[in-house]
């Protein structure tokens, strides 16, 4: 696997672009913290971009299944570079409205880029290497998040916000260059494309394919659970730093969760041969729920970081496992539309959770909010396990016992 140049290009590109992304996110948070006092209004601003991504998802799915995935990656990467220019206008005009334009442009780019990337990965590696590649790819993104937040926080001490976004746009340019060197076998037999691909009906054809595959349907449900925390993660981190009156706590939380995620992605690769993917999803969903509930004790620093250790480790096991299930059990001719559909579901979840997090932080506060989120995750995990046994989906996924 490590002799495959495409793997190195994807992982290196993910790290470089991820550093740029998180430097930009630190800039976004700083920009809003100075101009927007309400957590709920912050969530509305962030949700505006997500809504644009949701609306673009059906078109993105059809285009990914119709055209070459490398072409989609290049076009969306170029548009991402252009989108940063809107943030420079926002800074020059001191305008939150221009920041909203920037967020919309970024999310439109992401609506095409990430489903195309997920659909391309099975075309560049063997099926038995998918879990390892998915884990490595996600770890690269997590390392980028740790490095990006650390670098962004440090740069804010002696650089202006425009310089921060200049670093971000430079990273996106490097990713665009890296994408040129990808070699993807997109012949019809390999990519699963059909001769009449341009006549495909989008998500109308994907839904029956999902319903006929219980493993896919169950996994879609379980991977939406982490969104309860991830959807409002930045708002939660800001709130924690305000509780402690210490801005450096933000970096420590990001780092703790990120390192735990990487350890989880490494661990799940070691146990995947001995445990069924559904056993892994069920067990670590339970562990994740407990981590969320533990954040109720946010005023105790040890329990605060233990909560993010459990949460990060659990989603580090859940996400690569789920990605591998999707890539192997969904036919390749549906990959573009399926990953766009999944992307749309996640963005809807993000938007709902983001608005809910902003509202709950303003009304009941962080401890009671995470207690609600953790209890809901726990309930979904129990229902997931019961439904899986009842429908007999374990015959498709393997033994359920962990």
315 falls within a domain:
yes
CATH number at residue 49: 1.20.1250.20
Exposed, middle or buried, 73 (CB in 10 Å: 0-12/13-18/19+)?
buried
Closest to 377 measured CA to CA, from 402, 396, 349, 344:
349
Burial profile 350-386: b = 16 or more Cβ within 10 angstroms, e = fewer: bbebbbbbbbbbeeeebeebbbbbbeebbebbeebbe
Per-residue confidence (pLDDT) for residue 199, from 0 to 100: 45
* In a domain? residue 373: yes
Query: Does 234 lie in the same domain as 153?
Result: no
Q: Is residue 311 included in any domain, yes or no?
A: yes
How many domains does one find in the chain?
2
Instruction: Identify whether residues 32 and 149 lie together within a single domain.
Output: yes
Token pair for residue 183?
């070699």
Tokens of 180: 């040129």
pLDDT above 70 covers a percentage of the chain that reads 90
CA distance 156 to 163: 9
Instruction: For residue 124, tell me if it sits in a domain.
Output: yes
Q: Which two tokens stand for residue 149?
A: 């937040």
Task: Evaluate whether 384 touches 222 at the Cβ level (below 8 Å).
Answer: yes
| Average pLDDT estimate for 3-14 | 81
**Domain-located, residue 301:** yes
Mean pLDDT, residues 114-142: 78
Given phi > 0 = left and psi -120 to 50 = alpha, else beta, which region is 368? alpha
Shared domain for 77 and 165, answered yes or no, is yes
Rounded Cα distance, 353 and 257, in Å: 19
Q: Tokens 């409205």 correspond to what residue?
A: 97
Give 260-275 pLDDT, tens digit per residue: 988 988 888 888 777 7
The domain that holds 375 is classified in CATH as: 1.20.1250
Extract the tokens encoding 278.
């559904």
Residue 389 burial by Cβ neighbours in a 10 Å radius (0-12, 13-18, 19+)? exposed
Do 400 and 267 lie in one domain? The reply is yes
Same domain, 178 and 219: no
Look at residue 187 and tell me whether its pLDDT is greater than 80: no
Domain of 221?
Answer: 214-329+364-402
Name, in order, each residue with C-beta under 8 angstroms of 289's C-beta and a sequence gap of 6 or more. 225, 374, 375, 377, 378, 381
163 in any annotated domain: yes
Vertex 376 angle, CA 257 and 353, to 5°: 65
240 and 164 belong to one structural domain? no
Tell whether 116 and 32 lie within a shared domain.
yes
Output the pLDDT for position 394.
Answer: 47
- Residue 288 forms part of a structural domain: yes
Tell me which of 132, 159, 182 is where a domain ends: 182
Same domain, 161 and 225: no
Domain final residue, candidates 130, 164, 182: 182
Nearest CA-CA partner of 400 in 287, 283, 284, 279: 279
Closest CA to 71 of 167, 166, 191, 168: 191
CA distance 356 to 360: 6
Two structure tokens written together for 402:
């962990």
**Domain boundary at 159, 182, 205, which?**
182
Pair 122, 259 in one domain: no
The answer to whether residue 173 is domain-embedded is yes
How confident is the model at residue 389, as a pLDDT? 67
Answer yes or no: is pLDDT of 293 > 90: yes
pLDDT at 227 over 60: yes
Question: Helix/strand/coil (H, E, C) string of 159-220?
Answer: CCHHHHHHHHHHHHHHHHHHHHCCCCCCCHHHHCCCCCHHHCCCHHHHHHHHHCCHHHHHHH
| Highest mean pLDDT out of 156-160, 165-169, 187-191, 396-400 | 165-169
Is 146 found in the same domain as 6? yes
Same domain, 244 and 145: no
Average pLDDT score over residue span 135-140: 76
Statement to judge: residues 83 and 227 lie in one domain: no
pLDDT, mean over the chain: 80
Contacts of 308 (CB under 8 A, 6+ apart): 253, 256, 257, 260, 291, 295
pLDDT at residue number 9: 83
Q: What is the pLDDT of residues 50-102, one digit of tens each?
A: 778 878 888 888 888 888 888 998 999 899 899 999 999 998 988 888 988 99
């Amino acid at each position: 696997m490590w002799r495959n140049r495409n793997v190195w290009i994807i992982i290196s590109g993910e790290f470089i672009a991820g550093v740029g992304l998180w430097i930009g996110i630190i800039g976004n948070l700083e920009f809003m913290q100075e101009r927007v006092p309400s957590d709920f209004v912050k969530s509305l601003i962030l949700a505006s971009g997500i809504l644009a991504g949701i609306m673009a998802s059906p078109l993105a799915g059809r285009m990914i299944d119709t055209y070459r995935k490398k072409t989609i990656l290049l076009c969306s990467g170029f548009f991402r570079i252009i989108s940063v220019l809107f943030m420079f206008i926002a800074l020059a005009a001191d305008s939150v409205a221009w920041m909203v334009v920037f967020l919309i442009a970024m999310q439109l780019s992401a609506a095409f880029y990430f489903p195309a990337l997920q659909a391309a990965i099975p075309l560049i590696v063997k099926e038995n290497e998918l879990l390892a590649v998915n884990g490595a790819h996600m770890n690269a993104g997590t390392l980028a998040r740790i490095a990006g937040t650390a670098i962004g926080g440090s740069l804010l001490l002696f650089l202006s916000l425009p310089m921060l976004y200049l670093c971000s746009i430079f990273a996106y340019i490097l990713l665009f260059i890296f994408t040129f060197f990808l070699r993807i076998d997109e012949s019809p037999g390999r990519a699963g494309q059909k001769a009449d691909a341009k006549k495909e009906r989008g998500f109308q054809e994907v839904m029956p394919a999902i319903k006929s595959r219980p493993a896919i349907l169950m996994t879609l449900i379980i991977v939406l659970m982490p969104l309860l925390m991830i959807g409002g993660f930045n708002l939660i981190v800001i709130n924690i730093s305000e509780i402690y009156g210490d801005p450096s706590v933000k970096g420590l939380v990001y780092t703790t969760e990120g390192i735990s995620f990487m350890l989880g992605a490494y661990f799940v690769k070691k146990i995947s041969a001995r445990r069924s993917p559904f056993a892994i999803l069920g067990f670590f969903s339970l562990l994740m729920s407990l981590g969320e509930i533990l954040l109720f004790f946010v005023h105790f620093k040890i329990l605060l970081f233990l909560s993010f250790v459990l949460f990060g480790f659990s989603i580090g096991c859940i996400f690569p496992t789920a990605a591998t299930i999707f890539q192997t059990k969904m036919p390749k001719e549906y990959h573009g539309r399926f990953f766009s559909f999944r992307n749309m579901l996640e963005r809807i979840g993000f938007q709902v959770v983001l608005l809910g997090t902003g509202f709950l932080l303003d009304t009941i506060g962080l401890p009671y909010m995470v207690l609600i989120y953790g209890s809901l995750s726990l309930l979904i995990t129990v229902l997931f396990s019961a439904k899986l046994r009842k429908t007999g989906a374990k015959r498709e996924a393997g033994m359920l016992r962990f």
